[in-house]
Amino acid sequence: MHFDVFNGDADGIIALLQLRLSHNTPQPSEVTLVTGVKRDISLLAQVEINQATSVVVLDISMEKNSTALANLLAREIPVFYVDHHRAGDIPKSTHLTSLIDTDANTCTSLLVNKHLNNEFVNWAVTAAFGDNMQASAQSLSEEVCLSKEQQLLLKELGIYINYNGYGGSVDDLHFHPAQLFKKLLEYPNPFDLINETGSVYHQLKKAYLADMAKAKGSMVLLENEQLTAVQLADEPWARRVSGVFGNELANASPDKAHIVVTLNNADINTDKTYTISLRAPLNNKQGAGDICASFPTGGGRAAAAGVNALPVEMLGDFFDSVAKYYS
């Protein structure tokens, strides 16, 4: 049994999409899909090691999955690993093939696109826009002569697919990422999906616009020269929209860091915590991962990172750390 393990965001889904649409890569006959919400990155441990004959891993940190990876390699199970998150020490094994590039301007779907020599470049552009890699998406678009109008359509599609990945659990999502992947597999060309009335593109667009309209009325907690922090309600719509809303804020003021704060649905008996999503200033894509990692349950990439459960009393300290870092 082959396992495809992928992040549930646009980048993860579209990385796999390109590989499975391709006639130039071997296609497994029996596949188990392992995915989840965007934040759920400890996915490799879910592979049933006794059944696995090969594994593809996309868009989840190798460092965060190192134990599961070591177990697979020890069983001599071939693993193909493509990612742009922190890798840690890449194991030296003849059973591992890896394409890892942690450059802040690349993403997993772009790495897969390079591997496939632009075979599904329209999808790769969609993913790069979805992962908020505007500059890379644009330059690749220009390389393959996509018009401004076409770029705008792929950008919207990328944003909608990415939006679908955000939630506290898969119950919050409109489509389970595995289900969305299977739907997209019917469209080698994303423009066919966009042009089809009532397609998943149009369903996601409608849902996205409704959630974003609510987010625009959210509370600003702090705004200064270095950062803008907003709080979203602890409701499914807010958990879905937090990531893409953060991207939109970041694009609107590229010199500032952006923080989206959501109060976690705390049990009466447990201490209250926030989910934090931090984006480094677009014009200075560094530090977010380090800042978040200095707080309990925090981590991520230099450009975008988060804290899963920040004790409420530490919120002021968190804002101070961000302001200090970017001043």
Q: What x/- string results for residues 223 through 262 when contact with Mn ion is judged by CB under 5 A?
A: ----------------------------------------
Q: For Mn ion, give the closer residue by CB, 85 or 227.
A: 85
Output the smallest distance, CB 38 to Mn ion, in A: 9
Q: For Mn ion, give the closer residue by CB, 4 or 131.
A: 131
Output the smallest distance, CB 211 to Mn ion, in A: 21
Amino acid identity for residue 309 in this structure: A
Torsions phi, psi for 49 (to 5 deg): -65, -30
Candidates 20-28, 103-111, 115-123, 277-285; binding stretch for Mn ion (CB under 5 A) = 103-111
* Residue 104 DSSP symbol: T
Q: Which residues contact 152 (CB under 8 A, 6 or more apart)?
A: none
Number of residues that bind Mn ion (CB under 5 A): 4
Output the smallest distance, CB 179 to Mn ion, in A: 20
Whole-Å CA distances, 64 to 69, 169, 233: 10, 19, 29
* Nearest-CB residue for Mn ion: 11
Output the smallest distance, CB 103 to Mn ion, in A: 12
Whole-Å CA distances, 25 to 22, 35, 97: 6, 21, 14
- Reported in sequence order, the residue ranges of the chain that DSSP labels E, i.e. its strands, are 2-6, 31-34, 54-58, 79-83, 96-100, 219-223, 227-232, 257-263, 273-279, 298-300, 304-311
Output the smallest distance, CB 198 to Mn ion, in A: 29
For position 107 contacting Mn ion by CB under 5 A, the verdict is yes
Output the smallest distance, CB 195 to Mn ion, in A: 27
Output the smallest distance, CB 207 to Mn ion, in A: 22
Q: In what order do the strands lie in the sheet with 79-83?
A: 31-34, 2-6, 54-58, 79-83, 96-100
| Among residues 3, 6, 10, 11, the one that binds Mn ion under rule CB under 5 A | 11
**275 in Cβ contact with 306 (< 8 Å):** yes
Pick from 96, 95, 98, 4: nearest CA to 43: 4
* 3-state DSSP assignment of residue 274: strand
Q: What x/- string results for residues 124 through 143 when contact with Mn ion is judged by CB under 5 A?
A: -------x------------
Candidates 99-107, 228-236, 246-254, 314-322; binding stretch for Mn ion (CB under 5 A) = 99-107
By the criterion CB under 5 A, which residues form the site for Mn ion? Answer: 11, 59, 107, 131
